A and B are shown apart, each in its own frame.
Chain A
Amino acid sequence: MASIKEKIIIVVLLISGMLLHVQGKNSGTLQEQDENTLFLTGPSSLLVQQAIAGPCLGLGAESNILSVFSVYWSIKEKNLSEDDQQKAWLYLYRYLQQAQSFDPWYWDTYRLTNGLLAYQESYQSKAVDILAQGAKARSWDWEMPFTAGFLAHDQLKDDVRAFHLMKLAINREGAPPMLVGLAARFLNKTATESDTVDFLRAMKKSLPKGYTQYIDKRIDELLHGGF
């Protein structure tokens, strides 16, 4: 049983703790620090995540996608330094990669890869890699290889790779006949800017509003800048 003296010390310590917390919250420097710092530490190794997830593979993929959301939120909403920005994009890429390892058929992973990663300079090739692997796993889907092919053509300027991916898309069941013409126009470089913009707008439709800024930027570049 604590004596009255000990009880008073405990109460005083608790009150001082609360006061320090309130003071810290109101301090401009801390608030500013909070707005400019990336508090994320990046994904743990895939093996550790697999051990935690056990047989719940789907939830393993979804926990990585939730982390993608929070990293993207930090990139978008915080005023991060250049170093932190680089780190954040690296984390985002790794989370997407790990989500793919857990569930190679999960569409959200590829939509986020396509909407966010594919338009970052140092990650364009990696985004195409993720999408190309997704195209292999989602054997029923013509859209995935076509999108990967489009990005290889539009962002990487690698038409050999684009040709292989678009050919894969065209041969898939359910691929619309206009796809052959569109692919040919892209690869013959006879596609107009409006073809590319139309395709980007179609891709944008399946993304929520907050996640389209990089596609919007590319559309803007095409409409007001070079091809």
Chain B
Amino acid sequence: MKNILTIAAFTVRELLGFRVTRTLFAITALLPLLAWAFSQLFMLEIAKVQLDVMVGGAYLLGVVFLLSTVVTLLGKDIGEQVCYFFLPPPIERYSYVLGRFLGSVVVLTLLYTLLLVGVELLIWISLQYDTSIHRHGINWIAGIMIGWTAWYQTISLMGAVFLICAWATGVAEMLVFSSSAAFIYWVFPPILAGMKGRSDADPLVSESLKQSLDGLSWFFPDMTGGSIVLAFEHGISISNIVIMQHALGHLGYTALMLGLAIIIFSKRSL
């Protein structure tokens, strides 16, 4: 455990030292301004538009963070054999993977904490100064839900990125496969949901196609965090069970990806 924490602390220092990470923190700090400016184009539920921009920012920043810093770090470690520095005997390889993962999660958490401060600031300004039409349904919990859902969904993608990096051979390969994974995570769940919706409603679609679509959906983490956040932005309450199920599903997916990453990394030749 001590080894994992030491590698995690080292990872945090390394990631915070990257210029890209500092730029991402600066963009996160400026995001509320962008959200405010964009919302002025709309008429009524302006506070909700601001939160939508923050949601979009949270997901995009998460993906950029993973691709530009975490993949670079792991690519350097594995591609240039820097990881030997962390693996003198008796340190096990799993300590390295878990330490790197934990450190990356800490930096992502710091980034999303800053984002959460921005979201809550926008909510506070809206509650103080906007008319009830402009801030309909907005409350403090919406801000917390934005940070929380984006956090665990990005962590599940981080699990997949670790699995890819544990298997790939260099930065270029890691970047291509991780970008593809991020693209698939972003694009496929809504397409599958849309296709499933249509096939369920269409009696001409065969049962086997419906079952194939159901099966395919199992391969991707459920990205319906977007609809949970949207409901909270409108002040609609969702049962705690649904929220917990969604979060636990993602954390389970992360654990699975990380477990596979440890197995592959332990067996690969470096």
Contacts and interface: CB of A to CB of B under 8 A. Distances in A.
- A and B are partners in one complex rather than unrelated chains: yes
A46 B48 CA distance: 22
B190 interface: yes
Contacts of A50: 190-191, 193-194
Main secondary structure of the interface of B (DSSP, over half): helix
B56 A56 contact: yes
Most chain-B CB neighbours within 10 Å: which of A46, A55, A103, A207? A55
B237 to A, nearest CB: 11
Interface residues of B, number: 37
Contacts of B187: 51-52, 54
Contact of B53 (A47, A59, A69, A107): A59
Contact of A65 (B42, B188, B234): B42
A103 B52 CA distance: 11
Contacts of A216: none
A58 B230 contact: yes
A107 B59 contact: no
Chain A: number of interface residues, binned into ranges: 20 to 34
Contacts of A120: none
B34 interface: no
Contacts of B136: 107
Interface in A90-113: 103, 105-108, 111
B191 A47 contact: yes
B42 A57 contact: no
Contacts of A208: 43
A57 B227 contact: yes
B202 to A, nearest CB: 14
A206 interface: yes
A54 B55 CA distance: 11
B43 A207 contact: yes
Contact of A51 (B133, B190, B233): B190
B13 to A, nearest CB: 31
A58 B43 contact: no
B55 A59 contact: yes
9 shortest interchain CB distances as A-B pairs: A58-B52, A55-B226, A54-B186, A50-B190, A56-B56, A105-B234, A51-B187, A57-B226, A47-B194
Interface of B: 41-45, 48-49, 51-53, 55-56, 59, 133, 136-137, 153, 186-191, 193-195, 223-227, 229-231, 233-234, 236
Interface of A: 46-47, 50-59, 61-62, 65-66, 69, 103, 105-108, 111, 206-208, 211
